[in-house]
Chain A
Amino acid sequence: MTEPAPTAAAPRKLRFHVLRHDPRDPDSVPHVEQFELEEAAGMTLFIALNEIREQLDSSLAFDFVCRAGICGSCGMVVNGRPGLACRTLTKDLPTDISLAPLPAFELIADLSVNTGKWMRGMSERLETWVHSLEQDPDLRRIEAKMDPDLADRIYELDRCIECGCCVAACGTARMREDFVGAVGLNKIARFALDPRDQRTDADFYELVGNDDGVFGCMTLLGCHDVCPKSLPLQTQIAFLRRKMARTGLG
């Protein structure tokens, strides 16, 4: 099982069109800058952007951490679509590649946005932690049991990496600054599913039973299309809306 020899075709010249701006610099005006790079085998946007920074412009700002598609740092708009840059292979893109920061988040500079601040605010508002009456369980004792399928279903929703792509792809988030986004609604669905969290539907209604919550969603479902973890956002939002409507009417 040895890989066939590479074909002799000349590597492509890639043209990157990067939206640049430093909001702290009074002289900075948002503009698109062009960089050219020769494509290499297995090149990702992580590799390409670092090469641009090393060889062409040492000031270019962007964020990567794990570069393995698991930490959610590198969300950006690639040819019009929000996604994780680190695991986007250039071979899957045309020769002209446009890169822009995720909208809806505070811009730090160039491709770097402050998703951390947004996510912390969302977590504080929605109290995205297990609310348990038992504050200090006896750690020496055998843990409480949980149905294995339920644990798997919770993990399915727990896989969110807070990359912000769903918020960037959301019509409501662009109109309503305080909309909690699919990321927030998914978290509510996750904690509502978890029997360790003793909050009731009425409690959750207080958090998302309004237009900044589940009733703000216009079901455009850009979130579902772009989620890098393929979370079942469409189902969860629909489920939550029905549940909250029932709670609100009840």
Chain B
Amino acid sequence: MKVIYTDVLVIGGGLAGLRMAIGARRRGHDAIILSLVPPKRSHSAAAQGGMQASLGNVVKGQGDNEDVHFEDTVKGSDWGADQQVVRMFVNTAPKAVRELAAWGVPWSRVRQGDREVIINGQKVTITERGEAHGLVAQRDFGGTKKWRTCYVSDGTGHAMLFAVGDQAIAQGIPVHERKEAIALIHDGSRCYGAVVRDLITGELTAYVAKATAIATGGAGRVYRVTTNAVICEGIGAALALETGVAALGNMEAVQFHPTGIFPAGILVTEGCRGDGGLLRDADGHRFMPDYEPEKKELASRDVVSRRMEEHIRAGHAATSRFGQHLWLDITLLGRKHIEHNLREVKEICHYFLGVDPAEQWIPVRPAQHYTMGGIRTNHTGQSPTLRGLFAAGEAACWDMHGFNRLGGNSVAETVVAGMIVGEFIADFCESAKGDLDIPTALIREAVEAERARLDVLLHGGGTERADAIKIEMQQTMTDKVGIFRTGTDLEEAVHRLQGLLVRSRNIGLRHKVDGPNPELVTAYRTQKMLKVALCMTTGALARTESRGAHFREDFPARNDAAWLRRTLAMWRDPGDTLPCLTYEPLDVMGMELPPGWRGYGAKNYVDHPDTPRRAAEVAGVREQMKDADRHAVQAAVMPYEHLLPERFRGRNERIDEKLP
């Protein structure tokens, strides 16, 4: 049996994983990254529009700062987020952009003087400041008060991933490509690494590490229609779940992006609307202002997606041979803008639709896009129940997005969480808690158990087809666990998924080879994906309220009194067919921003009993300190800076906020 020892095992080679490994390496710890694919092919590359950081360089971003970014993010989350974590994030995001700038990301830059932009369908001339010339530029995105999204044309994720990927190479961090973790090694309280399958040879190897960090991204592929890459199957979350010890948080919180191209579901960036693009119906009517007079096309994604589906239900959809859809119109931005700032969009429209978006409208319909839930961690990125297991990025629920993530906050989270959690992993490795004392029997048993599971699939004589079960699961999720949810649909979905899970235990293969065998991979992943899908569905069924992206037609109000709490799903026994749900309350009395109306979407919520008291308390502090600077007020309301690694503390300089 082959065993590889290292300090830090990072599972997943996207931005979060790479940045964590770099952080640990710079502190002197050895790290190995496992990746299903070459890291530069990770789904991070698909982030087009940009990353939010309150630099406030452009004139439409003037006055932006951490406070505004914080408020936008918490409102976007529909108060589901951990507000201290949001604070840690917004304070680190500008540092992340600046670090990436130093590492070579060719951020689009501010050009001084007049420029013509489209705002609310109108041409407007704005004038950029001379002192901002050459600094990192920002564009508008949904659910934000200021123009805050830093970008590299519309290839932001690509440029970031290549810069960070190359930094990992510069640091000499080995990436073991085409290797898949299929189980965590643990003893019920301490994680020791993972059993890893070589996707080329089929060989199993035990990777043993002081710290194991999961950064495998989202679980979009449990749905039939998704913007996600084919490798985003929620396997990292499933690995944690299958320990029976670590929990998944808020798995019912699933985001649907308004502009998946129809019918393929490939994403076109929110930057299209941020830069002035409009949504139109079959009659060419711009319908969003009818529903959302305030933010229009630039309300948060959950709200825009719901309004689009509502409009389709009201009979205003365009139809093609594939079904019903709406239109995204960016023709008004002009060819020059599209070919300069939205070139990936142009390519995607050209190749997949045969459409020139400078001349024609783009057929769109909301598609599954983001998994807000994930492996529950504390603010350091560590599982509170399984020591030595860390998670970051979309795979984690640490929890800065609550029930809806803002556009531009995901690719930002990958690098920010990577920076922060990377430091905490290094701390862990240097502390007594990180000491490694593992019985070799535990390693051997873990590998043997996985070998046995694979042998059953290969030679157990099962009769079920893996791909058929997978497709049925995906169709069930898309049909029953989508944008509009009801108790009846969700019950049916739980029932169907349970049936599929039972059937998946009897999968047999036609191709019985243990080397590069795609059918075997589908088989063991489908078994894991079903568990993740069941966490989403049972969580959605139990949550009898509507919050962020989780919308129950039979319970349309947000109910803070009953549901201001985070769902935790655990899989107690491998033989179970349902997860076990428990709840973790969010403390209103500790919130900097007590719950209220988001400023867009339906104004329909039931207050938590503590809300008026906390609101009065916060207002009192603000009144008392009305002459103090904003940092002092913030620290008095909800201190958080002590939670950050020392390396990333400190204020962020802006043109209008000079540091001494």
Residues of A within 8 A of B (CB): 1-3, 5-6, 22, 24-25, 41-42, 44, 53-54, 58-61, 63-73, 87, 89, 108-109, 112, 114-117, 119-120, 123-124, 127-130, 132, 134, 137, 139-148, 151-152, 154-155, 158-159, 161-162, 191, 194, 196-197
**Contact pick for A58, options B101, B518, B653, CB 8 Å:** B518
**Given known A-B contacts A142-B655, A143-B98, A161-B158, A73 and B318 have beta carbons under 8 A apart:** no
The answer to whether B609 has its CB under 8 Å from any CB of chain A is no
Chain A residues whose CB sits within 8 angstroms of the CB of B510 once the complex forms: 58
Provide a sorted-by-A list of 24 A–B residue pairs whose CB atoms are within 8 angstroms.
A5-B321, A6-B321, A25-B515, A59-B513, A65-B41, A66-B229, A68-B266, A68-B348, A68-B352, A69-B351, A70-B155, A71-B229, A108-B200, A109-B200, A123-B169, A129-B163, A140-B95, A142-B653, A145-B133, A146-B134, A152-B106, A152-B153, A158-B152, A161-B158
Chain A residues whose CB sits within 8 angstroms of the CB of B264 once the complex forms: 42
The CB with the most chain A CB atoms within 10 A, among B110, B347, B651, is that of B347
Residues of B within 8 A of A (CB): 37-43, 45-46, 55, 94-95, 97-99, 101-104, 106-111, 133-137, 152-153, 155, 158-159, 162-163, 166-167, 169-170, 175, 177-178, 200-201, 229-231, 263-264, 266-267, 282, 284, 318-322, 327, 340, 344, 347-348, 351-352, 361, 467, 509-511, 513, 515-519, 648, 650-655, 659
A132 touches B102 (CB 8 A): yes
Given contacts A70-B158, A87-B352, A108-B200, 15 further A-B contacts (CB under 8 A): A2-B282, A22-B515, A53-B518, A64-B230, A67-B230, A68-B46, A69-B351, A70-B155, A71-B42, A127-B170, A141-B653, A143-B55, A143-B101, A147-B134, A152-B153
The CB with the most chain B CB atoms within 10 A, among A60, A72, A116, A123, is that of A116
**Given known A-B contacts A87-B352, A134-B102, A65 and B230 have beta carbons under 8 A apart:** yes
B46 touches A128 (CB 8 A): no
Cα A123 to Cα B136 with chains together (Å): 27
Closest to B360 in A: A1
Query: Min CB distance, A49 to chain B, in Å?
Result: 11
Chain A residues whose CB sits within 8 angstroms of the CB of B109 once the complex forms: 145-148, 151
Chain A residues whose CB sits within 8 angstroms of the CB of B152 once the complex forms: 155, 158
Chain B residues whose CB sits within 8 angstroms of the CB of A155 once the complex forms: 106, 108, 152-153, 155, 159
Number of A-B contacts (CB under 8 A): 215
Chain A residues whose CB sits within 8 angstroms of the CB of B166 once the complex forms: 123, 128-129
Chain A residues whose CB sits within 8 angstroms of the CB of B178 once the complex forms: 108, 114, 116
Chain A residues whose CB sits within 8 angstroms of the CB of B518 once the complex forms: 53, 58-61
Cα A173 to Cα B135 with chains together (Å): 40
- The A contact surface, by secondary structure, is loop
B101 touches A69 (CB 8 A): no
Chain B residues whose CB sits within 8 angstroms of the CB of A42 once the complex forms: 263-264, 322, 352
Cα A181 to Cα B465 with chains together (Å): 43
B135 touches A143 (CB 8 A): yes
**Contact pick for A158, options B111, B162, B327, B652, CB 8 Å:** B162
Closest to A25 in B: B515
Cα A120 to Cα B175 with chains together (Å): 9
Closest to B230 in A: A64
B351 touches A87 (CB 8 A): yes
**Given known A-B contacts A70-B45, A151-B107, A155-B106, A139 and B99 have beta carbons under 8 A apart:** yes
Chain B residues whose CB sits within 8 angstroms of the CB of A139 once the complex forms: 94-95, 98-99, 648
**Given known A-B contacts A142-B135, A148-B111, A3 and B515 have beta carbons under 8 A apart:** no
Chain A residues whose CB sits within 8 angstroms of the CB of B41 once the complex forms: 65-66, 71-73, 116
Chain A residues whose CB sits within 8 angstroms of the CB of B38 once the complex forms: 73, 115-116, 119-120, 162
Closest to B47 in A: A70
Chain A residues whose CB sits within 8 angstroms of the CB of B509 once the complex forms: 58
A112 touches B651 (CB 8 A): no
A140 touches B134 (CB 8 A): no
**Given known A-B contacts A24-B201, A66-B229, A89 and B351 have beta carbons under 8 A apart:** yes
Query: Min CB distance, A143 to chain B, in Å?
Result: 5
Cα A113 to Cα B655 with chains together (Å): 49
Query: Min CB distance, B462 to chain A, in Å?
Result: 14
Chain A residues whose CB sits within 8 angstroms of the CB of B230 once the complex forms: 64-67
Chain A residues whose CB sits within 8 angstroms of the CB of B94 once the complex forms: 139
Cα A126 to Cα B321 with chains together (Å): 50
Closest to A58 in B: B519
Cα A120 to Cα B38 with chains together (Å): 9
Closest to B104 in A: A130
Cα A147 to Cα B112 with chains together (Å): 11
Cα A69 to Cα B659 with chains together (Å): 43
**Contact pick for A129, options B103, B153, B655, CB 8 Å:** B103
Chain A residues whose CB sits within 8 angstroms of the CB of B107 once the complex forms: 146, 151
Cα A61 to Cα B108 with chains together (Å): 39
- Which 5 pairs of residues, A with B, have the shortest CB-CB distance? A116-B38, A145-B134, A139-B95, A130-B104, A58-B519
A70 touches B101 (CB 8 A): no
Query: Min CB distance, A248 to chain B, in Å?
Result: 26
**Given known A-B contacts A65-B41, A116-B178, A137-B98, A130 and B516 have beta carbons under 8 A apart:** no
A68 touches B103 (CB 8 A): no
Query: Min CB distance, B65 to chain A, in Å?
Result: 13
**Contact pick for B320, options A3, A64, A108, A112, CB 8 Å:** A3
Cα A158 to Cα B95 with chains together (Å): 22
Cα A147 to Cα B177 with chains together (Å): 37
B98 touches A65 (CB 8 A): no
Cα A58 to Cα B159 with chains together (Å): 35
